A = this chain, B = another copy of it.
Amino acid sequence: MTAQRRVVAEVLDGEHVHLTADEVHSRAVDKLPEISRATVYNTLGELVSLGEVLEVATDKRAKRYDPNAHRPHHHLVCAQCGAIRDVHPTGNPLADLPDSERFGFAVSEVEVTYRGTCPNCAAA
């Protein structure tokens, strides 16, 4: 555990939002000016492998990193401004996929993304 990794972890802990790698980097630089982009990417990659952080691929260009990896949840995305909220739907989508629709895959995860318009964008 080096200073750089601690800073990346702190950035993600402090804000429990959904940051892009670049945003993580900017905030890390505020705390440790000499940290490099490559290190941020490396560290994020390690955190993902360790299961501490989730990669979220909404349809935006950049992946986002979600530190709330231990509590399973899904996402609600504003189609206009890209705002993301964590949501906890009822039901178990894994159970909704019959064997006949699995094509021999060993299915291990489901990711559900709801899309819509957030109150802010609806008002504007």
Contact = CB atoms under 8 A, between A and B. Distances in A.
Nearest to A117: B106
A57 B59 contact: yes
B119 A104 contact: yes
Count of chain copies: 2
B103 A76 contact: yes
A106 B118 CA distance: 7
Tell me what chain A mostly uses at the interface: helix, strand, loop, or mixed: mixed
Contacts of A57: 57-59
A108 interface: yes
A14 interface: no
Given A76-B103, A109-B116, 4 more contacts: A89-B98, A104-B119, A108-B117, A113-B113
